[in-house]
Chains A and B, each alone.
Chain A
Amino acid sequence: MPDLLLEIGCEEIPARLIDAASRELREKLTALLQRERLEPAGAISHFDTPRRLAVLAVGVPSSQPDLTERVNGPSAQIAYKDGQPTPAAHAFAKKVGVDVGNLEKVNTPKGDYLAATVTRKGRTVAEILAELLPKEISSLYWPKNMYWRKRGELFVRPVRWLVAMLDDQVVPLELFGIPAGSKSRGHRIMSGGKAVVISQPSAYVEALRDAKVLGAAEREQVIRKALDAATRTIPGARWREDKPLVATVVNLTEFPSAILGSFDPEFLELPEEVLVTVMRDHQKYFAIEDVHGKLLPHFLAVLNTAADSDGLIRHGNERVLRARFNDARFFWQTDQKQTLRQRVELLRNVTFQKDLGSYYDKTMRVQRLASWLAEIVKQSGMAVRPGVVHKAALLAKTDLTTELVKEFTELQGIVGGLYARVQQLDEDLKSDVQLEVSRAIYDHYKPESMEDGAPATVEGALLSIADKADSIAGMFALGLIPSGSKDPFALRRQANGMVKTIAEHKLPFRLSEIMADARARYQGSEAEKKFSNAAYSKAVRSFFRERLEFYLKDAPQHRYAYDVVNAVLAVDSDDVVDAAARAEAVSKVRGSADFESISSAFKRMKNILRQASEKNNLVAMRVDPAGLREESEKALAALIPETVATVEKRRVARDYEGALLEIAKLRPAIDQFFDRVMVMVDDDHLRANRLALLQTVVKEFSTIADFSEIVTEGKDSTK
């Protein structure tokens, strides 16, 4: 059983795409071997660098097992006439490659049919791979493909060599005009450009190591060690952990090392955010900090070569960083010539969206929306400074006109916040108020993902919500609703951010009201003429229901089960904080036997009510206690009013767990009811009365969650 190696040699693949493609290639090969009945005895592993994707399979069968199968043919009646085979029989025999005389007859319920036992010889693995691997390679998913040779031949970057081997034999496949061989290539510079001959798959990894090429896991180890070692030369320093950056440099190198560089400490006058962005996003450097987390005038660069023995590389990198920091400082200083307040007017010239007007228009809308939200929060008794919200909303987008944001777009919001802190905003603005304004601006794009935190202050939260609600409202009113993978304005992310912010700040909002108000802010605008008003609120409602569902299921501190989330959102999906509280309560009690049983009972009640409505059976307007016959139904009916009262009292106090425990106490009465009472009786009056009883129970006790949505494990104590 030979080992298999496939290596696709490529010009540098974008770092961000390597991991997924490498996994996909392994999965494709695994599936292919399985489909072709060639499952390997050993492991299938993958190996990748910027210049190659490779898969290794240990112990692949050298050919498929032969396959014997019975093939059915035409009916005997058609196949034979007067005992002689007809053309139909001959055709079948020919098709299956069996002598007419060796055809069999099988008896089926539909009569006699011809059949043949056919043995198909298994094909060799080399033959199969040569035929099928090219298709698998060509079908790897890349978000962005290119041509380099012929139209129709697409890949992420030009493919330059192929290695395909079964032990020491080359698999005779060809792709993109390249025949596969046994020659790989080493590190571009360090290996001296000689071909790396692979004697057999099991020698692949070592042969590459000799040619200065390491696998991804090893590269990460080497990089982390090198970063540690370089950092240790500065007492008390540590490098800032940055997993995405580590992943990037792992995929930019084949044989990594790291160097420590320095920059002029006077650049530390610039905000840390700016320095770190230049280092991380533009130069892929790691920042270094002291024990207190303060940035030090050093950086770490990861190289794709072994060492920088004479310091040339460090010198070059320091030179580039100096130029970049100089630019940043120039932009920072230039930007101070115009205050944020003066920049508000400039926003008239910055397009927000072609049909929705300028950022000035947006600013005016967001300011009113945010102020209204602040009013609601204030009235609910929470601490909030509406003045801060008002001011921050006015200035939030002004940094879009600054040179620094034009250069470093990822710093939008942050730059505005930083400028708001150092500039004079208003003559009589108290410094603590100014600080709050700057914090709100700084945070207002947050949270950018489920992992990212919400804005730190309530004022920042309100600004963030208003800004996002305004965008979503405008886009939805224009009919630009996300669908499938199409969400060019990242509206889902923005809505997720709103939900998360509302939940974490426990804000007393209803999503539909925010969105109705956000929509109303467009009234009378030019943009409104382009709106197609149809179904705005409905579309917004179902969009936000999905976002809330996503939040409750996926936010790390929640992760509620899907049925709990469904049960809770079936009642109401508009009040985020309330939905989260109800989900928490339902999650806590759902494991108890009483609650399981109640859930099953509710399902049963809903079924009965549904059947009744399908049959057009009448349900009484209200339960008539005198019209009930059995003790158990009278007992249940008698229990309802007082239980409703206690449940309601707890519910209003938002003691959802307490309320649910009250409902669970109904279990014996409900069990008794279903044990003794038949609802769908012939007596119209009695049936209507009993249906009314069920309806009352369902209605009165579904104010926290729709229990019928809860998945029970078949335990049904009502039987």
Chain B
Amino acid sequence: MRTPVRNANKLSDGGAGPQPRPGVGLIVNPVAGLGGAVGLKGTDGAAAQQALALGARPKSQVRAARALELLSALKNRIDLVCAPGAMGADLATSLGFSCRTLGTAGAATTSRDTRDAAAAMAEAGVSMIMFAGGDGTARDVFDGAPGVGLLGVPTGVKMHSGVFGASPEAAGRVAALVLGSEPARVEWREAEIMDIDEEALRLGHVAARLYGYARSPLERTAMQNCKTPSRRDDDPALDALARRIVREMDPGILHVLGCGTTMRKIKRQLGGEGTLLGVDVALNGRLIATDVDEARLLRLTSGVPFKVITSVTGGQGFVFGRGNQQISAAVLQRAGRDNVMIVTSQSKLVMLDPPCLRVDTGDRQVDAMLAGYMRVHTAPGHTMMMRIAA
């Protein structure tokens, strides 16, 4: 539930005299999102090294830059406080921002560095911290600076929390609104800091766990909501749909199956358990590859016809770019729009606010290819015509 708090984050007390430049922190988790395309379910702890070893290419800086570029016009009007080196200062400087640096960072950055930098920024009195990362980064920033407004640039593997922009550009636009000439026009809300519930995952359910509430800008079309769980009473329709989909799979066609509990219903109809948080591939009625990464997907789909079946993140409406980065822009480009099938419950669709699906593949051309109206399958013989916003 969104609870707007108008002007709760005023950047000045409105008193007489020259307005101080609004102070904003910038923290980039440089390894965020590394695990996505290589099939890891996050990039926490040792996973970053593992991801690099698997060939992952860092994308966090690039995506953070897409957001920061939208603040160019405000370069001289904001007091930018950055975490050192790769955690923010390098990026800001490369884009022509002048900034102060707080905190420390070693060659290999850690979550401790993120928490320390956030705490130092809170101590310095910034009114908002803009961070680039996923749910793990959001938790670290929140832990370090619990009272400070947060705005996340989505660069991680999972973004279940409600503090992220719907895309890097959307986060940049919101930041520009907050830091621009009319900050009082921005409403704020208590947004959820979420992360995957490891306990539930061990029991076979994908569920996000609530870690706390952080103040975050309320901009309906630009900010994503937190992830919401599936409803059990949707199960009969989705079970029946899973049976229908498997029955109607064309022989000789590869089917790339996305993540989550809805997709697991299809995977189970194929006779296996599949990978709950991973991408699997089916051919001729059985799973032929499980927990595949982007590179393997590209090899498997090279020169052969294939379809991509995926679901929707509840509450957020993401189809691609959240938790399923293995199905990368390159894979989707190869598949083409007509070979993408979206499967989810009708209740999940009608609860979306705003009422549209989203894609954030990291490739604007692929996002544009996927944008527009598409049929989403909700039960056998039932579809909803949903708008996909890039």
Same assembly = no
B interface residues (Cβ-Cβ under 8 A, vs A): none
A interface residues (Cβ-Cβ under 8 A, vs B): none
